[in-house]
Amino acid sequence: MQEIKGIIVPILTPMNEDESINLPELRNQIERMIAAGVHGIFPFGTNGEGYILSESEKEAVLEVCVDQVKGRVPVYAGSGCISTRDTIRQSLRAKELGADVLSIITPSFAAASQDELYTHYRTIAEAVDLPILLYNIPARTGNALSPDTVTKLARIDNIVGVKDSSGNFDNILQYIEYTRGMDFVVLSGNDSLILWTLLAGGQGGIAGCANVFPHNMVSIYENFVTGNIAAARQAQDAIRPFRNTFRFGNPNTVVKAATAMLGYPVGKCRAPFNSLSVAGESALKQALEQLTAKGVC
């Protein structure tokens, strides 16, 4: 069983001008993340544009991730689909390709009851012998995993944790409180809540901002575990100017644009989610210059 903890990067998917995947640059980004000390590589999450990649592209990305990581940190594969059947198929394929952990987002578009969500995840867990991390992001999927449902799912052996991207800190607190004493991990999917999740008893975060500031994001966790809460808070607070630019576009669009502005040839997000206004670009450049001058990296 992989230990799920720390700062896991939902690594972006570099693309060429024609929107094909730039696999050599993906390898470079993986090395950049590992050199910064990240505790896991998570391909085709939201920041990796998993929502817009084909199955064959996901396979190619996962193959490269597993090959490049070479067991140095766990590789998390986003394998959630709308249907239970497709999720099982994608999850089994991810296992064949060498993924260590599955991140399974809730089904989207059609509304699902809590009973249906429980059955969905239980069925997948019974069919795929890999650790499963639940992924709650109701603003994107329209379906939320209630604390009661997460607690029931936590009793299934290979459902080992949950990533919460609801932005509702009380929801994270309930996940932690309801599963306390169980062998179950709670991770923040909101980068501004990582330290507070750790202080409440969570184990870390899946941090999109790590694509831009990997050392800083890792230091939130590393300072926390050594008891240097002041330094952890300084690192947590440091990303606020950058996160303030998210109002100009999808966060993953901003993250990728920022990484490109730092000089890495990662390209743009795939259309139509690939543009920032002139005001957005200006604000982003200003935030990056401000943070770079302070040594945030």
Cα 264 from chain centroid (whole Å) = 20
d(CA 269, CA 13): 8
CA 261 to chain centre: 21
Catalytic entry in 118, 121, 135, 264: 135
User: Of these residues, 118, 163, 178, 264, which one is catalytic?
Assistant: 163
Decide if 162 contacts 135 (C-beta within 8 A): yes
Q: Which residues pair with 204 in a beta bridge?
A: 6, 187
Residue 240 to residue 45: CA distance in whole angstroms:
22
Q: In the chain, what's the furthest Cα-to-Cα distance?
A: 51
- Between CA 86 and CA 135 the distance in angstroms is 17
Report the distance separating Cα 135 and Cα 157, nearest Å: 17
Q: Which of 174, 135, 168 is nearest to 151 (CA)?
A: 174
Distances (CA, A) of 214 to 11, 236, 291: 11, 12, 13
Report the alpha-carbon distance of residue 274 to residue 94 in Å, rounded: 27
Helix (H, G, I), strand (E, B) or coil at 213: coil
240 CB-near residues (< 8 Å, 6+ apart): 192
Active site residue 118: no
Q: Is residue 51 flagged as an active site residue?
A: no
Residue 163 is inside which H or E element, if any?
Answer: strand 159-164
What positions carry a catalytic annotation?
135, 163
